[in-house]
Amino acid sequence: MSDQSRMTEVLAEVAIMLLEYGAESRLIEQIPVRIGSALGCDRVDMALIPSAVTLSTRIAGQSATTTRRTRAQSLNMGVVHDILQLCIHLERHPAHIDDIEQQLRTIKPRYYPQWVLVPVIGLACAAFSHLHGADWPGFMIAFLAAAVGMWVRTALAKRRYPALISFAITAFVSTSIASLALLPQLSRTPNLVISASVLLLVPGFPFVNAFLDAFKGYLSMGWGRWLEACLLTLMTSLGIILASRLLNIHVW
């Protein structure tokens, strides 16, 4: 494989990693262009859609093009930050393509351990319910429902369940547990408890990225991400509705 072909593959891998881990489209486009310039490319062109990247490099009149599909990954700004730092380093200290390939292989997503993530998410949702007027028994139920929901969500993610199915199941579990607040003499604010227990499923990041992409001219990416966020919201709603119907919950 020629150096230009290897360079094209590396730049495409950078773009794919940025797309998979949640970077906005302008960043996905700019970073490979900057790295390509540092490597000596005369021009780097790219086409983005939510499921794939097509990238072309031009050096001394010769072009090389590759297309890569994305793989389902969770959001991870640590990966985006590491790639941006690599880009800045290469602009200041140009390196050979072999070194860049090696550095790119060392960039891996970092996650909080589950024993930290689960109680923190539970506490955040419970705190939200309390800030909006939930009583202390409701606070404890919201904590339990959100924490168990987060545990279910991470367990499903490890087993590679589709995000849409994972969100629906998690919403069903969290709503079912939060319905304990409806028991007599247990909580005076069951509506706040049930609402807060599913806040961990709000797809805020995809909605923000969708708006930023559309605002900056990446309409296809903006529409794709907006549709993804809407589908996640729909599946969350279906999980809540199913639990409400089965358990005869009427707090809305």
Phi, psi of 73 (to 5 degrees): -140, 160
Beta strands in the chain (DSSP E): 43-49, 52-59, 62-69
- pLDDT for 248 equals 85
Query: What's the residue count for the chain?
Result: 252
**What is the maximum span of the chain, computed from C-alpha positions, in angstroms?**
78
Q: Give dist(CA 151, CA 119) in Å, integer.
A: 9
Residue 251 reports pLDDT greater than 70 = no
Residue 115's CB is within 10 A of a number of other CB atoms, namely 8
Phi, psi of 119 (to 5 degrees): -65, -30
Residue 127 reports pLDDT greater than 90 = yes
Q: Give dist(CA 246, CA 239) in Å, integer.
A: 11
Give the rounded distance of the alpha carbon of 228 from its chain centre: 11
Q: Token pair for residue 110?
A: 């970092």
Which strand ranges, in their side-by-side order, compose the sheet holding 52-59? 43-49, 52-59, 62-69
CB 239 within 8 A of CB 170: yes
Q: What is the pLDDT of residues 196-248, one digit of tens each?
A: 999 999 999 989 999 999 999 999 999 999 999 999 999 999 999 999 999 88
The string over 54-71, giving b where at least 16 C-beta atoms fall within 10 Å of a residue's C-beta and e elsewhere, is: ebbbbbeeeebeeeeeee
- Tokens 């794939």 belong to which residue? 52
Residues 6+ apart with CB under 8 A from 100: 10, 35, 39, 86, 90
Q: Token pair for residue 58?
A: 């031009």
Q: Give the confidence band of 249 by pLDDT, cuts at 50, 70, 90.
A: confident
Axis crossing angle, helix 136-158 with helix 114-131, rounded to the nearest 10:
140
Instruction: Tell me the pTM.
Output: 0.88
Q: Give dist(CA 48, CA 55) in Å, integer.
A: 9
CB hemisphere CA count around 61 (13 angstroms) = 0
Span 103-113, average pLDDT: 90
Residue 21's CB is within 10 A of a number of other CB atoms, namely 20
Q: What is the pLDDT of residues 129-145, one digit of tens each?
A: 999 999 999 999 999 99
